Amino acid sequence: MAEQVYQLTREGYEKLKREREELKKRLMGEVAERIKEARELGDLSENSEYEEAKNEQGMIDSRIKEIDYILDNAEIIENGGNHDNSTVSLGKKVKIKDYRLNREQEFVLVTPQEANIEENKISIESPIGRSLLGRKKGEVINIKTARGSSKKIEIKEIS
CATH of domain 6-77: 1.10.287.180
Residues of the chain with CATH 3.10.50.30: 80-158
pLDDT in tens, 12-70: 899 999 999 999 999 889 989 988 888 887 777 777 888 888 999 999 999 999 999 99
Query: Which segments of the chain belong to CATH 1.10.287.180?
Result: 6-77
List, in sequence order, every residue forming a beta bridge with 120; answer none if it has no partner. Answer: none
**Strand 140-144, strand 150-158: pairing:** antiparallel
The model's confidence at residue 152, banded by pLDDT at 50, 70 and 90, is very high
Interval 96-119: pLDDT, tens: 999 989 999 999 999 888 899 999
Q: How far apart are CA 112 and CA 83, in angstroms?
A: 22
Q: What fold characterizes domain 80-158?
A: Chitinase A; domain 3 (3.10.50)
